[in-house]
Amino acid sequence: MTEENRMTHRGWAIVTGASGGMGAEFTKALAKRGYPVLAVARGVEPLARLANELKKDGASIETLAADLAGAEGLSTVVERAQALGDVDLLVNNAGLSTSGDFLEQSVDKEIQSIRVNVEALYTLTRKIVPGMVEKKRGGILNIASIVAFQAIPYWTTYAATKAFVLAFGEGLAYELRNSGVRVVTVCPGFTKTGLYADSGVPGMAGRLLPFATPEEVVRVALAAYDAGRVVRVVGLTNRLLAISGALTPRFILRGLMARMFAPTTAGRASSRPPKQRPEIS
């Protein structure tokens, strides 16, 4: 890492869900760009391994073990962010997913997913953005999903949380358009991370649609941030799905998505990518 890079990015980058998958890749990529990084996740050991790896290359990285599904964990992250002072970039990457028949889901797990995917993202953004606006510099990078563009039966709650992320990011990007603060919402498709390994992708969708790598998603996300994009869908297949979904009447789209995502009758199973470390807060 050169001194020039360090001087270019003096403020901190905060990455949630940093223990594995896209979060770990965001942490690595931002450290390489010269950001000092605060890596946030639940797992102490994965964070320590990541920090040790990056410090060998001279990166400036701090770790914070916190559960964003709880009020105490969220407050801990807010307090640390405020203590850092100069935050240039917030990557709201942490996420939780459940899948399958709505009435068969654990209420506690679904509420946890809402707290992480919606409440934590909103709260961190609300607490950190004012400082960015004051200095007229900074950015928010939100990770939504291709499922944000339409209702997804059998992935009902998860898709609804990601629809919030997309609408919230677009609205905020417009409000802050002249402030010097960028807000970019990235919509990947299925990705080989612990999030999908834990919950699975229900129905035919998990077997037929491609899975991207975390490295690919992070590369596209940071390029979109550099270009000042507002929304970026990752992958040609996913862009075509988003466009076709916008042109299809919603009652037809609901039926199509139900067919694609309905759990299989044999064991009501879900398709899962290769198991990796959970990408959760």
Amino acid at 122: Y
Give the integer Cα–Cα distance in Å for 235 and 256.
21
Task: Supply the pLDDT for residue 166.
Answer: 98
Q: Where in the sequence numbering do the catalytic residues fall?
A: 158
Task: Supply the pLDDT for residue 241.
Answer: 86
Q: Check whether 272 has a pLDDT greater than 70.
A: no
Q: How confident is the model at residue 235 (pLDDT cuts 50, 70, 90)?
A: confident
Residue with tokens 């934590």, as numbered in its chain = 120
Give the integer Cα–Cα distance in Å for 228 and 127.
22
Read off the pLDDT of residues 42-74 as tens digits, 9 standing for 90 and up: 999 999 999 999 999 899 999 999 999 999 999
SS (H, E, C) 174-213: HHCCCCCEEEEEEECCEECCHHHHHHCEECCHHHHCCEEC
Q: Check whether 193 has a pLDDT greater than 70.
A: no
Task: Give the CA distances from residue 66 to residues 16, 69, 130, 135, 265, in Å, rounded to whole numbers and listed in that order.
Answer: 9, 9, 23, 28, 38
Mean pLDDT of the chain: 87
Cross-strand partners of 138: 181
User: Can you tell me the mean pLDDT for 139-146?
Assistant: 97
Is the entire prediction scored with pTM above 0.85? yes
